[in-house]
Chains A and B, each alone.
Chain A
Amino acid sequence: AQSVTQPDIHITVSEGASLELRCNYSYGATPYLFWYVQSPGQGLQLLLKYFSGDTLVQGIKGFEAEFKRSQSSFNLRKPSVHWSDAAEYFCAVSSYNTDKLIFGTGTRLQVFP
């Protein structure tokens, strides 16, 4: 079955610390992978996406993610977290032959000053 797993429900980091949010997927076809961010009371904003090519992709707000096919993972990273990064982060997967996204259950990031 196609699925996305975000094993961490809630992560807390100090401002200035590095961040890694985990995402694992199970998908039969070549995956297209996405990370979205949702600030409180807001909609989802696309951070970055991977379709093919270089497995390290850069996104907005200083985020990056690395696709590792052997581990079925697409982890999101940021070298230095800012208080404004506190939000919920969603990983999602689709493919070239589908018009639907499958979402993970999200990771809530809390940032302490």
Chain B
Amino acid sequence: NAGVTQTPKFRVLKTGQSMTLLCAQDMNHEYMYWYRQDPGMGLRLIHYSVGEGTTAKGEVPDGYNVSRLKKQNFLLGLESAAPSQTSVYFCASSIKETQYFGPGTRLLVL
């Protein structure tokens, strides 16, 4: 039982490049979330999903897209990366009110 896993762990992008972050969970949770963590700002919700095939915007959705084609996977896409998207990205899944987090993806956009 791996819980929540994230791929990749670390990535460097150039401005304008695109990439996809993968989150996978093996707990059969309905809800999944993407957050970004920046110094002094805590965690901010980017997008979330309440079930397979559904997505919704969070607090800071601009510049990101998501897809939830399978219940166990939640993908976060950056179509044209900007330096302001340099951050640590966390995925979480939840059953009811309690969220469980992945180890994070550190992204550097040059």
Instruction: State how many angstroms separate the Cβ of A53 from the closest Cβ of chain B.
Output: 14
Contact A105 B42 (CB under 8 A): yes
Report A10 CB to chain B, min CB distance, Å.
11
**Closest partner residue, chain B, to A100 (CB atom):** B45
A36 to B102, CA, bound (A): 13
Judge whether B101 and A45 touch: CB under 8 Å.
yes
Chain A residue at minimal CB-CB distance from B94: A99
Residues of B within 8 Å of A100, CB to CB, are 33, 45, 48, 58
Given known contacts A100-B48, A100-B58, A46 and B98 CB-to-CB distance under 8 angstroms: yes
Over the window 75-113 of chain A, the binary record of Cβ atoms lying under 8 Å from chain B Cβ atoms (1 yes, 0 no) is: 000000000000000100010100111011110000000
The answer on a CB contact under 8 Å between A105 and B98 is: no
The count of A-to-B residue pairs whose CB atoms sit within 8 angstroms is: 47
The answer to whether the Cβ of A71 comes within 8 Å of any Cβ in the partner chain is no
Query: Across the two chains, which residue of chain B brings its CB closest to A101?
Result: B99
Q: Mark B95-107, 1 if CB is under 8 A from A, else 0.
A: 0011111111000
Cβ contact of B50, chosen from A36, A44, A99, cutoff 8 A = A99
Contact assessment for A96 and B97 in the assembled complex, using a CB-CB cutoff below 8 Å: yes
Inter-chain contact A103/B43, CB cutoff 8 Å: yes
Tell me which residues across on chain B come within 8 A of A90, comparing CB atoms: 42-43
CA distance A106 to B42 in the complex (A): 6
- Contact residues of B between 72 and 109, Cβ < 8 Å to A: 90, 92, 94, 97-104
Q: Is A11 positioned at the interface, with any CB of B under 8 Å from its CB? A: no
- Give me 7 other A-B pairs in contact (C-beta within 8 A), A9-B40, A43-B4, A105-B41 excluded: A44-B90, A90-B42, A90-B43, A100-B48, A103-B42, A103-B43, A103-B44
A residues near B, CB below 8 A? 9, 32, 34, 36, 41-46, 49, 51, 90, 94, 96, 99-101, 103-106
Q: Which residues of B contact A (CB under 8 A)?
A: 4, 31, 33, 40-45, 48, 50, 58, 90, 92, 94, 97-104
